[in-house]
Amino acid sequence: MSLSHKQMQMIKRVLWTVSLMIVAVPFVFPFLWMVSSGFKNAAEIFGQPSLLPATWRWQNFLEVFDHQPFARQYFNSLYISGAVTVVTLVISSLAGYALARLRFAGSALLMLFLISALMVPEEVTIIPNFFLIRLMGLMDTHVPLVLLPVFGAHGVMATFLMRQYFVALPKELEDAGKMDGLSRIGIWWKIALPMSRPALAAVAIITFLHSWNLFLEPLVFLSSLEKFTLPLALANFTDAYGLPLWHLQLAATSLAVVPILGVYLIAQRQIIESFAMSGVKG
Amino acid sequence: MTPSEKTTTMAHASRVPWLTLRRKEALEAWLFVSPTLIGFVIFFLGPLIAVGLYSLTEWNLLSQESTFVGVANFRDALTVNPDFWHVVRNSALFALGLVPMNMALALMLAIALSRPFFGVVFFRTIFFAPVITSAVAWAIVWKFLLQGEAGAVNQLLASIGIDGPNWLREPNWAMFAVIVTRVIKMVGLNMILYIAALQAIPRDYEQAAQLEGASRWQVFHMVIWPLLAPTTLIIMVITTIGSFKVFDHIYLMTGGGPENGTLVLAYYIYQQGFEFFNIGYASALAIIMFVIVLALTIVQLILRQKGSG
Amino acid sequence: MTSLALSNLAKSFGPVKVIRDIDLSIDDGEFVVFVGPSGCGKSTLLRMIAGLEDITSGDLMIGERRMNEVSASKRGVAMVFQSYALYPHLTVRQNMGFGLKVRKMPVDEINQRVDEASATLKLDVLMDRFPRELSGGQRQRVAIGRAIVGNPDVFLFDEPLSNLDAELRVHMRAEIAALHGRLGNTMIYVTHDQIEAMTLADRIVVLRDGRIEQVGTPRELYARPANVFVAQFIGSPKMNICPAASIAREMSGDNLELNKAVQVGIRPEHLRVAAKDAGNLNGRVTVSEYTGAGSLLHIEVDGVGSFLVAEEGQVGAQQGDVIGLAFSNDDVHLFDKDGVAIHR
């Protein structure tokens, strides 16, 4: 018996979808397991595994806040990431504008310098930066967590993303702005920026996530619990012997990850496009 | 003509102001880049030079003393300290495992998801989700899933009759586990870059090749793959550099263990600098890492140049 | 009111001189067109007047004031750009009022001026649209409206019609001419299209390599071009040029007074087709192109060269025909060895 062309196509499509679903398992499973285990009690965590908890233990999510100043830490992450995002937007769009639109001797050299920063891992400069921050008296503050991403590889990436976008803006618009009496800052603020919303959104999204997920810098610069950011706090759910308190750790991790995932699911198109635009790391 | 031309220019020269539009533009440009430039010098260029200087000293933070020792730290790393080559081997293994696996999977997923079909957005969203998730959360969850007997992965394997290893407690399996979980976390990014590149290839090429009777594999091998070459190069450079940067993932999953089996260069630098306070030695390691990353980038760019030329 | 005077105006990028010693005065209310091939410096010169490019040397006077170092927005000039340069994120109304808002004019007055301009240009129904929702002609009109609201002394147009299709171009050309008639401002208009120049200008300035080749009314330029370049640039199809000696040798009948001319030029529309031996020259038709109103003939005259003839009427000469070419001596232009016109 031979199958019609249409039937073959159908079977192919089903097989295709099923195989993609199998590949998707290790991508989805950790999230499901994380949330479900956040509801389990300590005993069940090590018992017979099941995707759904035998009893839903909501208290885990409250105990998270007893174990550490988790609300404070959550807020720290929010406001630091917000600050990094705003500062990065301003600084990278200023520099990106100059590199894209203004003629000045040394711009090519400057670009080369900045590109080199993209190649260097932050582990290379973290030791001198530690001494620098200590010298400035900024240890155990949030200042370095704003300064280092803004002026590190990530800031350079944002600058290049903005530059890439500004390069494509028509030059005559700026001339029109000059005829209308705008200063250079005015042209940047009232013409270049409003026309570059997609690039600004991309930079904002990537920058926020970058700062939100940062780990090495908080680990090096922060020491007091109430200053911690989320990633540092999550790593810190251990008992007196340094062993993980799994049910609390997973509940806290769920609290940190799920809202971001929620935003991602709503705005997945925009977020994915932002990363595609950057063409660089996250 | 010439003399009169000269006198007119001379006569007007005094009236031309210093701040021409051209100079004003350059001045404004420097003002615009100055925040970036100053920050770059203070937090990147300065530290890069400083770390080079530190690497030439014997400096333990606990003793508060630093003495110039020349290249002793480098000699120590390269010839004396057995840990160093072990760490380099680990980093190389990590990169050699991660980069090809990541790129191959990314390309396969991209090919599968570059054409519209029912569910394409769903799958893209899923494969990209780990990219936006914090490395810390990802590491915590996988550490949980990969526990010895109680871990979900092993329980799952047991249900189909496979006796899984204690993933994170056996050196070779631990390396394998950190690589695979890292690939799952980051493959979505490369997938997106490949999808963008694939969608930018005009369908004409493929259709022309198909009209000439090329098979699907031939179309891919002879048309698509060469057109993807620039993207492949960028992805390779980014992924390779990225693989050397990986710190949080390993720090949280294995802590560099077991038996230093997953102790990679980035972690080793952190350990020497911030746990053992050997600033001089850690700085030398940082310089070595810098050189390795730079060399790999340059080699890849040269290979590409030769390939295309 | 507002005249312009350019004296010895020059601009160079390092050693490269792009504008050389331009002397020109423009009267109040005059419509002056800068025309020339691409790269001749006409746009650069306009941008120097606008304040968008540095003036390396010389003086720019607008009215009684020396404007060399005055910023673009304070020169009392407005500019209409080739790409219209409308701000895509602002509505038509906001676009037109933008410059006034930057200059901190009261909102009431801005609205009043914008409304006036929109009435003049029939933009009323478009005021709340964004530029992307407008057609090319409408965008052009908004760009002009934006220039009008600032009530400038001088309007500058930088190839404003080159992005429009042929039909719309003719229409907008007429609108700009009408606008000039109504407003009476001084206008400077840059184009590479000599027909635009001829139809719009009170005076045309022909530029080449950053220099003025000739200044004059359209009629002067057409009738008495100063040199071969202007002669060939103004008029379409362009003027036939041939060596003087050869044409004198080949010509039958009455003698042309050559006055040491080295080159001779005759416009295609001044050549008439006659029967063989009935004209001043004999030639053979190599190509005959029917254009509707008439034909364009390419005629090879042995020992002289090739001539283009614009022949009117439906019955044109055919390829291969041997015909006579007739012209009046008054229509012959003479040029010396440097290409400079010799006037009789």
Q: Where are the domains of chain B?
A: 84-308
Q: In the structure, what pLDDT confidence band is assigned to residue A2 with cuts at 50, 70 and 90?
A: low
Q: Which residue of C has its CA nearest to A170?
A: C85
Asked whether the predicted pLDDT for residue A204 surpasses 80, the reply is yes
Q: Which residue of C has its CA nearest to B12?
A: C57
- Specify the 3-state DSSP secondary structure of C5: strand
Which of B9, B17, B22 has the CB atom closest to C57's CB atom?
B9
Structure tokens at A49: 């595994």
Q: What is the pLDDT of residue B308?
A: 59
State the nearest Cα–Cα gap between A2 and chain B, in angstroms.
23
* Contact B244/A at CB under 8 A: yes
| Residue A138, amino acid | L
Residues 223-242 in B contacting A (C-alpha not used; CB under 8 Å): 234, 238, 241-242
DSSP string, A168-199: TS-HHHHHHHHHTT--HHHHIIIIIHHHTHHH
ipTM of the prediction = 0.91
Residues 232-251 in A contacting B (C-alpha not used; CB under 8 Å): 232, 234-235, 244, 246, 249-250
* Contact A16/B at CB under 8 A: yes
Q: Which residue of B has its CA nearest to A128?
A: B47
- Cα-Cα-Cα-Cα dihedral sign, residues B45, A154, B276, B267: negative
Which of A24, A231, A279 has the CB atom closest to B193's CB atom?
A279
Which of C53, C57, C69 has the CB atom closest to B12's CB atom?
C57
Residues 11-70 in B contacting A (C-alpha not used; CB under 8 Å): 22, 25-26, 28-30, 32-33, 35-37, 39-40, 42-48, 50-51, 54
Q: In the structure, what pLDDT confidence band is assigned to residue A62 with cuts at 50, 70 and 90?
A: confident
Average pLDDT over residues A162-186: 93
Which of B129, B274, B294 has the CB atom closest to A264's CB atom?
B129
CB-based contact A178 C85, cutoff 8 Å: no
Alpha-carbon span A51 to A162, nearest angstrom: 44
Q: Which residue of A has its CA nearest to B133?
A: A257
Cβ-based contacts under 8 A for chains A and C: 52
- Which residues in chain C show pLDDT less than 70? 1, 252-256, 259
Q: Which residue of A has its CA nearest to C87?
A: A173
Alpha-carbon span C4 to C310, nearest angstrom: 39
Structure tokens at A79: 């406001």
CB-based contact C73 A178, cutoff 8 Å: yes
Alpha-carbon span B146 to C121, nearest angstrom: 73
Based on its alpha-carbon atoms, the radius of gyration of chain C, rounded to whole angstroms, reads: 24
* Contact A176/C at CB under 8 A: yes
Measured between beta carbons, the chain C residues lying within 8 angstroms of A176 are: 79, 81, 85-87, 146
Measured between beta carbons, the chain C residues lying within 8 angstroms of A180 are: 73, 98-99, 102
Asked whether the predicted pLDDT for residue A163 surpasses 90, the reply is yes
Neighbours of chain B (3+ CB pairs under 8 A): A, C
CB-based contact B16 C57, cutoff 8 Å: yes
Alpha-carbon span A132 to B125, nearest angstrom: 41
Q: What is the pLDDT of residue B14?
A: 44
Neighbours of chain C (3+ CB pairs under 8 A): A, B
Token pair 């600050």 in the structure block, residue: A83
Asked whether the predicted pLDDT for residue A237 surpasses 60, the reply is yes
Alpha-carbon span C134 to C273, nearest angstrom: 49
Measured between beta carbons, the chain B residues lying within 8 angstroms of C59 are: 12
Which of B121, B129, B245 has the CB atom closest to A123's CB atom?
B245
| Interface test with chain A among C43, C44, C83, by most A beta carbons within 10 Å | C83
CB-based contact A104 B150, cutoff 8 Å: no
CB-based contact A170 C83, cutoff 8 Å: yes
Query: Which domains, from first to last, does chain A contain?
Result: 5-57 (no CATH), 64-278 (1.10.3720.10)
Q: What is the pLDDT of residue B164?
A: 84
CB-based contact C57 B13, cutoff 8 Å: yes
Measured between beta carbons, the chain B residues lying within 8 angstroms of A188 are: 32
CB-based contact A181 C87, cutoff 8 Å: no
- Which residues in chain B show pLDDT less than 70? 1-16, 307-309
Q: Are strands C154-158 and C16-26 parallel, antiparallel or unpaired?
A: unpaired
Measured between beta carbons, the chain A residues lying within 8 angstroms of B46 are: 128, 132
Does the bond joining B258 to the residue before it have cis omega, within 30 degrees of 0?
Answer: yes
State the nearest Cα–Cα gap between B196 and chain C, in angstroms.
27
Measured between beta carbons, the chain C residues lying within 8 angstroms of B21 are: 51-54
* Cβ neighbour number for residue C200 with a 10 Å cutoff: 22
Residues in contact with C244: Cβ distance below 8 Å, sequence separation at least 6, in sequence order: C258, C261, C262, C263, C264, C334
3-state SS string over A93-113? HHHHHHHHHCCCCCHHHHHHH
| Residue A166, amino acid | F
Token pair 């293994």 in the structure block, residue: B93
CB-based contact C85 A175, cutoff 8 Å: yes
| DSSP state at residue C91 | -
| DSSP state at residue A40 | S
Q: Where are the alpha helices (DSSP H) in chain A?
A: 5-38, 42-46, 59-67, 70-101, 107-119, 122-135, 143-151, 153-167, 171-179, 184-187, 193-195, 197-213, 216-221, 230-234, 246-266, 268-278
H/E run at residue B17:
none
Q: What is the pLDDT of residue C163?
A: 87
Q: What is the pLDDT of residue A215?
A: 95
Closest by CA to A236, choosing from A39, A73, A34, A44, is: A73
CATH annotation of B84-308: 1.10.3720.10
Neighbours of chain A (3+ CB pairs under 8 A): B, C
Alpha-carbon span B83 to A214, nearest angstrom: 28
Count CA within 13 A, CB hemisphere, residue B23. 8
* Contact A98/B at CB under 8 A: yes
Measured between beta carbons, the chain A residues lying within 8 angstroms of B192 are: 272, 275-276
* Contact A123/C at CB under 8 A: no
Q: pLDDT above 70 covers what percent of chain C? A: 98
Cβ-based contacts under 8 A for chains A and B: 260
| Residue C70, amino acid | V
| Interface test with chain C among B1, B4, B8, by most C beta carbons within 10 Å | B8
Average pLDDT over residues A62-89: 94
| DSSP state at residue B43 | I
Alpha-carbon span B193 to B48, nearest angstrom: 30
Closest by CA to C249, choosing from C240, C258, C259, C241, is: C258
| DSSP state at residue C331 | G
Closest by CA to A249, choosing from A230, A227, A264, is: A230
